[in-house]
Chains A and B, each alone.
Chain A
Amino acid sequence: MSNAPAIVAAQEPVRRTPIALLDLIRTHRRVTFAFALVAVLFLIALVSPVISPHDPLAVRPDDSYLPPLTPGHVLGTDELGRDLLSRVLWGARVSLPVAFVAVAVGLFAGGLIGLVSGYAGGVADLLLMRFVDALLAFPGLILAIAVVAALGPGLRNAMIAIGIVAVPVYARLVRAVVLQLKQMEFIVATRALGATPLRLVLRHLIPNLLNPIIVQVSLSAGFAILAEATLSFLGLGAQLPTPDWGQMINAGASFLTNDPWLAIVPGAAISITVYSFNLLGDSLRDALDPRLRS
């Protein structure tokens, strides 16, 4: 979160739009590369029903344990004869939406807490921040596991759990930026001109929050995919027969001696996806941070 003030300081105190980020994608090679990776992942998730060579759920016992590069099954098949490539491609349709719903939960709840806390200050700030501190007192994965343990295993509860873990991150980020913006002359002037709090928030605070939030969203998405895979690996997230990467690794781990690909292929899929989001967040942060730009 320490990058937030630097990012704000780097901005002109005027309305910001994501268009500036499009410029970054065009002008920074690292951002371009990371953005292209993420775009390809989304494309895969979108078109996986069309490009998957087989039904990811179709069980064919006669075709079980086929090794990679078998004609018709590029990445081989699993213990039930299901095509591994199709399952990995469909896995993107599970992981990416789960990550984004979780991030949206965190962003909405955390952003609202941060906005109210930073803007209102006083008792509201004190109370809300203690609540946020309490959430931060739990290690992320432990909190997610505790919530899933309480609500029961499943994808929906995993999304809620990961979203709750993200709440304090956004609350602190938004509060830090709002506190800094509140001191800026253009906000003081707008308030002096009689702008209502709602107008101030919607027209001036939120647009200036966009850049740090976009950086954080891509970093949180990486964490959310990792957390979802971890919960599913432990059997607390996606349930059978959903083609989920974490769960596929869990199942594949039992056949490690003879068929290591069953675990390695989905593991590589998770790693590449999380790497892409982390790289995007990292490169955006570097591109927006004046200290690192020099």
Chain B
Amino acid sequence: MTAYVLRRLLLMLPVAFLVTVGVFMLIHLSPGDPALIILGEDRSPQAIAQIHQELGLDKPLYVQYGIWLGHIVHGDWGRSITTHQPVAVAITERLPATIELGLTALLWSLLVAIPLGTIAAVRRGSVADSVATSITVAGVSIPNFFIGIVLIFVLSVTLRLFPFGGYVPFLTDPLESLRHVALPAIALGTAGAAINMRFTRSSMIEVLNHDYIRTARAKGASWRRVVFVHALKNALIPVVTIVGLQIGGIIEGAVVTETVFTWPGVGRLAVESIFNRDYTVVQGIVLLAAFSYMVANLLVDLAYAWLDPRISYA
């Protein structure tokens, strides 16, 4: 296992290097002088010269990359062009709202997916299974921003059951926080629910065909006990790995949902920054999204190897 962890970490190094190169190149792919892009409106010759000097823009590209990486590693992610706030601070301020939304969406997706996926697997081939399978395909086909708009129209504008927009931190007022996060979480979590349901179903079908399930039944265990006690625990192992990846991808999902619900998180900050041509903030968010995704991938792989030792020796 230790050898596998080391090998996996070593494999991650070149990928991490390439990811940082990609994020660094983001600003250089844009047409024009990066100093002008970074400065935005404030384009005095002194300011331009200062940026050139700070980033070493007169030096070869690989030297510029080294300088940029040095700043990133030391926690200096640059300053926002529009607010002049340090990028790391801007992101950190918005992160709790995004995490709260992402985790609630994940919880919602699991509450829907596990029971429905289990029912579909147990009643494989039935009408319930067909309906559940169709819902799965539909769930990944409807854009989450559209689900959000329909939810706002029905539950917020028409029925006035939920407030539209606004964020209340969970620790400030848990009940009010849940009322505010409910609609964006449902919008964000529906595609995840569809994917998790699909995984639960296929994994459950596979587990139910195992010998130990037949043995449990032969020993007189009730079908309900076999499904929920013996099968479900093992069937959820692949689902756990997918959920791990979904946690890593929270920022990605939040980009659109936060825009629809004017949720003050990192996703909305990303969209606002693109329109403000605030490249340093965009760079910071892309880097954070990529690294959280990479770490989630790594943890999922390690968890899988821990749960199924055959993988370590493959």
**Residues of B near any A CB (own CB < 8 A):** 11, 14-16, 18-19, 21-23, 26-27, 29-31, 137-138, 140-143, 145-146, 149-150, 152-153, 157, 248-249, 251-253, 255-256, 259-260, 270-271, 274-275, 279, 282, 285-286, 289-290, 293-294, 297
B137 engages A137 (CB within 8 Å): no
Q: How far is the CB of B65 from chain A (nearest CB, A)?
A: 15
Proximity string of chain A (224-261) to chain B, C-beta cutoff 8 Å, 1 when within and 0 when not: 00100110011110000000001001001100110010
With A and B bound together, what is the CA distance between A131 and B279 in angstroms? Answer: 24
B290 engages A142 (CB within 8 Å): yes
Contacts of A131 in B (CB 8 A): 18
Contacts of B22 in A (CB 8 A): 134, 138
Q: How far is the CB of A264 from chain B (nearest CB, A)?
A: 7
With A and B bound together, what is the CA distance between A246 and B143 in angstroms? Answer: 9
Query: Knowing that A137-B294, A152-B31 are A-B contacts, what are 8 other residue pairs whose CB atoms are under 8 Å apart, sorted by A's residue number?
Result: A133-B15, A137-B297, A141-B253, A145-B270, A249-B149, A260-B153, A271-B143, A275-B138
A278 engages B141 (CB within 8 Å): yes
B286 engages A230 (CB within 8 Å): no
Contacts of A222 in B (CB 8 A): 140-141
Q: What would be 11 A-B contacts, judged by CB atoms less than 8 Å apart?
A: A138-B19, A142-B251, A229-B143, A230-B143, A230-B145, A233-B256, A234-B259, A249-B149, A252-B149, A271-B141, A275-B138
Q: Name the one of B21, B157, B256, B290 contacting A234, with C-beta atoms under 8 angstroms.
A: B256
A256 engages B157 (CB within 8 Å): yes
Contacts of A229 in B (CB 8 A): 143
Contacts of B285 in A (CB 8 A): 142
Q: How far is the CB of B293 from chain A (nearest CB, A)?
A: 5
Q: How far is the CB of B103 from chain A (nearest CB, A)?
A: 17
| CB nearest neighbor in B for A276 | B141
A142 engages B282 (CB within 8 Å): no
Q: Name the one of B150, B256, B270 contacting A230, with C-beta atoms under 8 angstroms.
A: B256
Contacts of B138 in A (CB 8 A): 271, 275
Q: How far is the CB of A288 from chain B (nearest CB, A)?
A: 16
Contacts of B21 in A (CB 8 A): 134
Q: How far is the CB of B250 from chain A (nearest CB, A)?
A: 9
Contacts of B259 in A (CB 8 A): 234
Q: Name the one of B18, B137, B146, B275 contacting A278, with C-beta atoms under 8 angstroms.
A: B137
B286 engages A142 (CB within 8 Å): yes
Contacts of A141 in B (CB 8 A): 252-253, 255-256
Contacts of A139 in B (CB 8 A): 248-249, 251-252, 289-290, 293
Proximity string of chain A (115-149) to chain B, C-beta cutoff 8 Å, 1 when within and 0 when not: 00000000000000011011001111110011111
**Residues of A near any B CB (own CB < 8 A):** 130-131, 133-134, 137-142, 145-152, 222, 226, 229-230, 233-236, 246, 249, 252-253, 256-257, 260, 263-264, 267, 270-271, 274-275, 278-279, 282
Q: A142-B286, A150-B27 are in contact. Are A279 and B252 (CB under 8 A)?
A: no
Q: How far is the CB of B127 from chain A (nearest CB, A)?
A: 15
Q: How far is the CB of B253 from chain A (nearest CB, A)?
A: 8
| CB nearest neighbor in B for A223 | B140
With A and B bound together, what is the CA distance between A226 and B286 in angstroms? Answer: 20
With A and B bound together, what is the CA distance between A222 and B137 in angstroms? Answer: 11
B275 engages A146 (CB within 8 Å): no
Q: Name the one of A134, A149, A151, A267 contacting B143, with C-beta atoms under 8 angstroms.
A: A267
Contacts of B282 in A (CB 8 A): 146, 149
Contacts of A267 in B (CB 8 A): 142-143, 146, 149-150
Q: Name the one of B19, B30, B142 contacting A137, with C-beta atoms under 8 angstroms.
A: B19
Q: How far is the CB of B129 from chain A (nearest CB, A)?
A: 13
| CB nearest neighbor in A for B198 | A282
| CB nearest neighbor in A for B31 | A152
With A and B bound together, what is the CA distance between A245 and B138 in angstroms? Answer: 18
Q: A146-B282, A271-B143 are in contact. Are A253 and B15 (CB under 8 A)?
A: no
